[in-house]
Structure formats: C-alpha cells, structure tokens
Structure 1
Amino acid sequence: MNQCEGHRGRMASRPTEPVTILSLRMLSHSGPEPPPQKAAPPCPPSSEPKTFTVEDAVETIGFGRFHIALFLIMGSTGVVEAMEIMLIAVVSPVIRCEWHLENWQVAFVTTMVFFGYMVSSILFGLLADRYGRWKILLLSFLWGAYFSLLTSFAPSYVWFVFLRTMVGCGVSGHAQGLIIKTEFLPTKYRGYMLPLSQVFWLAGSLLIIGLASVVIPTTGWRWLIRIASIPGIILILAFKFIPESARFNVSTGNTQAALRTLQRIASMNRAVLPEGQLLEPVLEKRGRFADLLDAKYLRTTLQIWVIWLGISFAYYGVILASAELLERDLVCGAKSESQDVHSVDSEGIQSPCYCHLFAPSDYRTMIISTLGEIALNPLNILGINFLGRRLSLSITMGCTALFFLLLNICTSSAGLIGFLFMLRALVAANFNTIYIYTAEVYPTTMRALGMGTSGSLCRIGAMVAPFISQVLMSASFLGALCLFSSVCVVCAVSAFTLPIETKGRALQQIK
C-alpha cells in the first residue's frame, strides 16, 4: 500500500478529527496562535511511470566524444564519394586519348555515372527506411569498392562506362552517413556540425587531384583508380564503431536496441539518460513514396526537387567546366602548357589525339579552385544558423548565378582562377544547406526516402551538366554560362518560397 492510500485510510477511519482540532484552536485564547499548516497536495488518482523519447535522450545527452567519432567516421564517407565523383574529371583527358573519344563520348561517361546514382538512390532510400541506415551504408560501400576496382581492369570504353555506372549505384548509398549523423546530433549542433562535413568532401577532391598529378604521368590512370579505392575499403572496417540510428530502431519497435545505443552514447559522453522508460510509437507505415506527395509535404517536396536538380547541375557544371577550360583554353585563347599527345594504333601508326593531358599548372589551378569549397564555410554556417536555411540558400544561389555570368569576362589566368574559386565556394555552400534542410524537414518515417529521391532527382541535373560543360560550351561559351545562371535564379526563387523553415526545429518522428 503506497503512502497516499495509507493517508486516505487514516482519514476514512477518523472523519471527525479535523473538526475537533479546529474547535480546540477556536477555544484557546491564552497562547499565541500557531501558524497555519499547509494542506498536503492532493494525491494523484494513479501513479504513471515516467517516459522519454529518443529526441529527449539526444538533447539530454548533448554533444560529446561519441559525436566526434561519429563526425570523423561518417564524415569520411564524403572523402570516398568525392574521390569517386572527381575521378572522372581528372581521368577524362587520358581516356579521351587512349580510346580516341569524341566530346559526347567523354560526357556520356559522367552521365552514366549519375544515371546509376539516380536509379539506385531511390532504391537505397526505400531500403534504408525499412531495414536500417547502417546496413544500406555498408552495402553501398562494399558495392562501390568492388566495382571501382574492376574499373581499373576495363578493356574497352564500353566496359569502362558500364563499370563506372555500377560505381555510381554504390556511391548513391553514401548519403545514409549524413542521415545517421543528423539523427544523432542535438538540435543546436546540427547547423554547425553538418556544414563542417564539407571539409571531408574537400579533402577527397584535393586527394584525387593530387594523386592524379603524380600517378597518371608515371603509372597511368588504372593505378590511380586502384589507389583511390583504398580509403573506401579502410572505412568499411571503421563502420563497426557506429551503431544503427536509435530513431530508426524505435520506429520499427526495436526499443531495446535503441535504448542500448543511447546508453552507450551517454556512457561515452559521460552523461545520463532522462529518467523513466524509453517509449515511442511503432511506425508501421515507413518508406512510402506516397507520403512525400502527401498534402502536408507536396509543395515542399516539389520545390526541394527543383532545388536539388539545379544545385547539382551547377555544381558538376562548374567542376567539368573547370577541366574543359584548362584542357581546351576556351577563355581568351590563352596558350596552355598542356601537352599534345599522340597515340599508336593497332597497326603501329601514330595518330594525333584530339585532347591535351593536364600539365602541372593545370593541376595547381584545379587544386586552388577546389579549395574554394571551404572558403565560404564560416559564412555559410553563420547564415544557416542566423538567417535560416531558406534565406541563406536563396542568397548563395543568387550569387552563384552572378558568378556564372562573370566567368564570361575575358581575364587573365589569375582572374579565371579567382572566378572558379568563388564559384566552387558558392556551389559547395548550396549543397551544404540543401543537405541539412532535406534531412531536417522530413520525419523519421520518410527521411531516408526523402533524401534518396532528392538525391536521385538531382542526378538529372548532373547527367545534363556534362553535355553543357563538355559539348555546348565548345560551341557557345556564353550560351552555356547563361543556361547555368538561369537555372540558379530559378533555384534561388524556389528556396526563398519554401513553406517550412527548419532552423531550430526538432527532428520530427512521424508526419
């Protein structure tokens, strides 16, 4: 019998006692009146156990050593992804020579990589919402590393295209690393930590360019691909230190696994979980495409798709345009240090290749422009946290449109590097913001699918970009730049009119 029940029992057995005490106090005038006693608070009709949610636990535990390990391991997925994507930009001049490729054939390689990315991105998103983020991330890395190694043995152009398409399929699952980070980070840290992940993409881009400048002239592009596969293989071994998302586990009813994960995080961070029992509803309907087009999210989803498509179009357009500007000397007819290359066909006859291999100065220019991806990161973080996701994105998209037009100005080599530097900085900031916004705006039941479909649709922009940067730019330089700029303006307007602002908002569990 609890305390409240005992108190009620005593009250029932002596119903007149309060009256007797009151009467004695009224009759006593000789001494000072004792201070009135406070009435005991009423006892609740029933005592319910305390409960807490994953959101409560994540916010209570706070930021600590676990999140640093999470940031380093999951952030490193960006290193691998950047190396696989940027690989095409540095290998294109070599395979153009080796297999005597036309412009459209070189562009077709990149397009097929993103086609594989587009097709599998939706599939991986569906599977991640149903079977777990960690499992799909591991599967995507195993897939990507296997086909990347096979690419280095490609005997012909057709095989090269097919195997790189398979690599694109694997790379599409790397986005699950960002989702895992998002679902473990406390609300106030997401706007700071997620943009810093751009450091890993930058590291991967610089690493592949640096390796290309050393490996291609000495041992060839095949060894470059083999060496570039090593970081992905190493990272697979590190995944065992990162658990499955606790938000995903509770959504599937696996509360015990989620609780063990939260206890492990609390122990690493030297914190304690909230009092009570972990309790969240089991979400039966997860990973449904129809939910993205539900009335509550329809407008948001459509505008996000437009923005993702445009950002990807601009981002890969800048990367490939940089390579084309260096390889073809399209600006001001400057004389390049690139080397004309001749190849020997099967009959032993020398034939000129319609390409130039990158000179050391070209690699330096690519490295400098790539460093631009981190240049605006501090301003990007401030904008995301103080101006909000929508306004920050609309500003950087508008500036991207402007710098595409400025690229048409006939300038010196230093001027060209400066424009490319700023463009890389702006397009990287755009990607930072839309990644964060998309991960925050959708609930747990559809977060991976929302990210997967957005990543898939954006690859349409990436598939088109090579034909603009590597084909149209040769025919009409200004026309290509105007097209890039116009798409960025549309994205800026779409970002400004997004219906939901996610700044400071807790991650939603259900829609």
Structure 2
Amino acid sequence: MGIRPGWNCGRCQLDGLNGLLQCEFFERKKARRDSRQAALTFEEAVEETGFGTFHAALLIICGWANASDAVEILCVSFLLPTARCDLHLSTADMGWLTASIFLGMMIGGYMWGVLADLKGRQRILVLSLMVNGIFGAVSSMASEFWQFLLLRFGSGIGVGGSIPVIFSYFSEFQPRNKRGRMVSALATFWMAGNILAAGLAWLVIPSTSLNFQLGSMHFQSWRLFVMLCSVPSLSSALIYALGMPESPKYLMEAGREDDALRVFQRMFYWNNRRTARSFPVERLLIPPAEKSSTKFYDSCVDRFLNLIMKGLDPIRKILARKLRVTSIILAIIFFSISFGYYGLWMWFPELLKRMETGGGSACSSIRNGSSEEDAKNITCYPVKTVVYKEGFIIAAANLPGNIFTILLMDLLGGKLLLCASLFLSGISVFFIWEVTTKTQSLIVSCVFSAISVIAWNSLDVIGLELYPTHLRSSALGVFTGISRIASILGNIVFGQLVDVNCGVIILLVAVIFFVGGLAGLKLPNTKHIELS
C-alpha cells in the first residue's frame, strides 16, 4: 500500500476524508478553547453577548427613568396657569420657580455625576431618582410659595443626577455599531414623559371634582397632579434597586472582572435564550488601575479641602490639553440649546393661556404693565382646558424629530444632525413673534418642538462618545450644570421681560441657537467611535 496524503492537526497524523472531518472538529474545538482563554476588551465582550431581549428591556427601563425626569421638570410649566392664583405668584415669581428646578439640577448634575464615576452608576441612579420622587411628592403639600420653591429645588437636585447617569449607564451596555440609534431611542422617552405630563395635566387639573379639603388646606387638583408626577421617579428607583445590574464598563474600569463577567453572562443569556450555549468568554482585558497614594491629614480642615479638590478634579481633567477645545465647544452648545429651549418650553402653557385670553400671537396678546398688577387681575378659574390640549399637541410634535434621529443617527452621525437642528431651530423661533394668529403660533411652536429635539438627541450621543469611562458621567454632570445655568438665566430673563417686550426675548433665543450651531461645526465626528 502507498502512503496516503495526511492531515496534521497538531495532535496526530490523520488521513483521508475522515481525517479531514476530524481535523476540522479539533480545530473548531481549539478555537472555542482559545476564545475562552483570550482576554477580551469591553467592545469585544459586548459583541459576544449579542443584541436582543436584554437591550430591549434595558431600553424600556432606562427610558422610563428618562421619562420620569421629563415629567418632574415639565410638570411645573403645566401647573403655572392655575397654581399662580393659589400661591399668589407674580410673573417674576413664576420665573424664579422654574429657575429653582434648574438650580437644583445644576448642583445635582455635578454632584451625582462625580459619585457615579467613583461609586458606580446603578446605586447612584437609585438614590437620585428617590430624591427626585420624594421631594416632588412632598411639594404638592406646600402651602406657601417659598416652601414650594425649596421643595422643587430639592426635586431638581435628584433630576440633575439621574439625567446624565442614565445615559452613561445605558450607553455602556451597547455595541458601538448600534449605540447611536439606541441612545437616540432612549432620548425619545423624554418626549414620552413630556406627553405623559401634558396628558395628566389635561386630565387632572381642569377637573374641579378632584378638589377636596385636607385639614386647613384646600387640596386643589393641580396639587394632585404634582403628586402623580412623582410616581414615575419612585417606581423607576424601585426597579433599579431590585433588578438592574451595574454597568459592565464601569466594573471593568474598577478592576472587578468577575462581576463584569457575570453581567456579560446575564446579557448573553437573555439575548440567546433559544440556544444552549453559554457565554464563550472566561477572561476580560482589565485596564491597569491608577496608582493612588495614602495620605494622612493633620486636621479636619485639610481633609475637607482635599475632598473639595477631589470633587473639582473632573473639571480639571475635562479641561486638560487633550479635551480642552472639545469641552469648551460642548459648553457653548449646552448653554445655547438650554437657554433657548427651556426659556421657551417652560413658558409655552402660560403663553398659550394668554393667547387664549387676549387672542392674537404669543407676543401681541401680552400687555405692558407691572407684574404685581397682573398677578392681581389674572383669573385662573375656571381652568381653560384648551391650554393643556395645545400643550399636549406641542409635546407630541417631538415624535417626527425622534423618529428621524433613530433612523439616521448611525448613518449621518451626531455632528451633522446637531448643527442642522440648531440652525433650523433658530429660524423657527424667529417666526414665533411674526405670526398673527393663534393657529399659526401653535403650528410654529410644533415645528420648533420637532426640530429642537433632534439637537438634544444628537448632543446626548456626542457627549457620551467624546469622554472616557472614568470621566463620562462627571463630564455630563459638568455640562448638565452649565445647561442648568443657561436654563435658570433663560427662565429669569423670560419672567422679567415677558410683560415688557416679548419680541426681544424671541430674537435673543434665535441668535443663541445660531451661535450653538456655529460652535457645533468645530466638534470632531464620533460616528461609530469605540468607547474609551
């Protein structure tokens, strides 16, 4: 017999067709063994888990938390047309009330963002959502303006923390080729919260049958509305506390390989339940831990100063040479969109009410005069339901913009969508004071709603992708703080000038949107970038 051609599989010499089949079997087995032994990076491990049921459930849970934040912020704008009489608010007081929420968000955004980078995303989400819900619920019992103001400030501290941390947490479960689309889908739930707040206001506030006497206080329907608006935050905190894992990216950065593997295994199980396979990875590539030195302090003052410096450390890092230009540009954009968007959005229900009373456009229906005189002369009852109906329509107008970003974010990238949206938002705002009828004003407001939401969604994606894991929540917290400063200024300026010259405010908002769009042209392109 002659010697037949053989197949060398590294173990033995096999021959013939049977040898070829056995060789292929050994090679596949060796490849599976090698894949388990090889240490995978975060992006590689996420790809191994697949994409499916886990990510869909995560989207719904994080989306509900995002919607709860929207409800808690925007509920104040819907209660102003009636609460202003019960709390004896002038127009300036209404500006300070809306500003107090954003002041709390400014403080909470930075505080919770730093803690999320130090202690983990999941536990900080639970705490911030609880603070949000508890303060929001208690504020419904406030009998004086200053009490309501302080409690809404406390609620703002909770909201300010949960918004940036939710997006950091959610993005750190996503494969990079789907991250833009999924983060855009998460941002869509802000619209859902807006619609929920508008719908609740439409259903609850005009209903005088819901008013009742609670001790010495008359519990009006708007107070019940405020209490109901705290339910989403409290229920979301409960869900995160009972069933949600920590971010695997954070766990890897913290050196907790076993914990990160368990999260990946959980993701793999839910995404591949129809197969009998187990997660084919046993090791992860853990980045080297930063060296830290143990310090001893001579006094409590030294320890306190060290804590302050540690808290300010993220600001120093995002302004380091490598990130300085990007951080300054993002700061300008966050300021521009927040000043313009919240300066108008929080006042839409009040403007619509004045249009309903006086007729004409948003600006022509506003009389010149003192705020105190307006507070005395304006009547809040009976509640005009058309105000809440129109608020609901404007909130629902976000839908086309959200669908647009979900479909095109991964295709076009966040930078292009951000710049285009800011420019178009500025143009749409300019026409708000040019229209002459209420219907036209409502249409322009809906157009502004649909276009501006594209900028917010794009900014959510870009902000996540430009910073490393150990700075991601902190950076978003810093920019959230800048955003809240702009929101505070926007609401105070609007409250002070809305009775004097509405046109000046509208023109100012349009110009600020244009400035943000120009700044966005200097941002780097982040489409499909790997999370660092």
Residue 289 of structure 1 deviates from its aligned partner by 2.8
| Higher mean C-alpha deviation, range 396-405 or range 265-274 | 265-274
Aligned to 2:504: 479
What secondary structure sits across from 2:198 in the alignment? helix
Measure the CA separation in 1 of the matches of 2:395 and 2:281: 48
Aligned to 1:11: none
Aligned to 1:325: 351
Alpha carbons 1:51, 1:278 under 8 Å: kept: yes
Unpaired segments of 5 or more residues in structure 1?
Answer: 8-46, 339-350
2:341 to 315, 320, 323: 315
Measure the CA separation in 1 of the matches of 2:361 and 2:319: 53
CA deviations 1:57-82 (Å, max 9, x no partner) are: 11222211110110000111122111
Alpha carbons 2:361, 2:438 under 8 Å: kept: no
Unpaired segments of 5 or more residues in structure 2?
Answer: 1-7, 13-33, 212-220, 292-309, 366-374
Residue 146 of structure 1 deviates from its aligned partner by 1.3
CA deviations 1:19-70 (Å, max 9, x no partner) are: xxxxxxxxxxxxxxxxxxxxxxxxxxxx995211222111222211110110
Q: Note closer, same or farther for the CA distance 1:4–1:376 as it changes in structure 2 (3 Å cut).
A: closer
Measure the CA separation in 1 of the matches of 2:187 and 2:11: 63
Alpha carbons 2:81, 2:350 under 8 Å: kept: no
Aligned to 2:247: 245
What secondary structure sits across from 2:529 in the alignment? coil
- Written as runs of structure 1 = structure 2, the 5 A alignment for 1:51-66 is 51-66=39-54
What secondary structure sits across from 2:530 in the alignment? coil
Aligned to 2:129: 141
Measure the CA separation in 2 of the matches of 1:368 and 1:237: 31
- Written as runs of structure 1 = structure 2, the 5 A alignment for 1:192-271 is 192-217=181-206, 218=208, 219=211, 220-239=221-240, 240-270=242-272
Alpha carbons 2:361, 2:433 under 8 Å: kept: no
Alpha carbons 1:60, 1:272 under 8 Å: kept: no
The AA in structure 2 aligned to 1:234 is S
Aligned to 1:504: 528
The AA in structure 2 aligned to 1:251 is E
Measure the CA separation in 2 of the matches of 1:50 and 1:129: 28
Give the TM-score normalised by structure 1: 0.83
Residue 417 of structure 1 deviates from its aligned partner by 1.3
What secondary structure sits across from 2:378 in the alignment? strand
Aligned to 2:156: 168
Aligned to 1:279: 285
1:304 and 2:293 aligned: no
Aligned to 2:27: none
Alpha carbons 1:314, 1:427 under 8 Å: kept: no
Measure the CA separation in 2 of the matches of 1:495 and 1:108: 30
Measure the CA separation in 2 of the matches of 1:431 and 1:489: 15
What secondary structure sits across from 2:397 in the alignment? helix
- Written as runs of structure 1 = structure 2, the 5 A alignment for 1:26-65 is 50-65=38-53
- Written as runs of structure 1 = structure 2, the 5 A alignment for 1:91-490 is 91-175=79-163, 176-217=165-206, 218=208, 219=211, 220-239=221-240, 240-270=242-272, 273-284=279-290, 288-329=314-355, 333-334=359-360, 352-356=376-380, 358-490=383-515
Aligned to 1:341: none
Residue 328 of structure 1 deviates from its aligned partner by 2.1
Give the TM-score normalised by structure 2: 0.80
Measure the CA separation in 2 of the matches of 1:53 and 1:317: 43
What secondary structure sits across from 2:526 in the alignment? coil
Alpha carbons 1:327, 1:356 under 8 Å: kept: no
Residue 317 of structure 1 deviates from its aligned partner by 2.1
Measure the CA separation in 2 of the matches of 1:68 and 1:6: 45
The AA in structure 1 aligned to 2:335 is L
Alpha carbons 2:349, 2:388 under 8 Å: kept: no
- Percent of pairs with identical residues: 28
Alpha carbons 1:283, 1:445 under 8 Å: kept: no
CA deviations 1:136-172 (Å, max 9, x no partner) are: 1000011111111210111211110000000000111
Q: Note closer, same or farther for the CA distance 1:393–1:184 as it changes in structure 2 (3 Å cut).
A: same
Alpha carbons 1:312, 1:462 under 8 Å: kept: yes
Q: Note closer, same or farther for the CA distance 1:275–1:99 as it changes in structure 2 (3 Å cut).
A: closer
Measure the CA separation in 2 of the matches of 1:275 and 1:135: 27
What secondary structure sits across from 1:167 in the alignment? helix
Whichever of the two has the greater Rg, that structure is 1
Residue 318 of structure 1 deviates from its aligned partner by 2.6
Measure the CA separation in 2 of the matches of 1:170 and 1:402: 34
How many residues are matched?
Answer: 453
Measure the CA separation in 2 of the matches of 1:421 and 1:104: 26
Residue 316 of structure 1 deviates from its aligned partner by 1.0
Measure the CA separation in 1 of the matches of 2:170 and 2:232: 20
Residue 412 of structure 1 deviates from its aligned partner by 2.5
Measure the CA separation in 2 of the matches of 1:352 and 1:4: 92
Aligned to 2:26: none
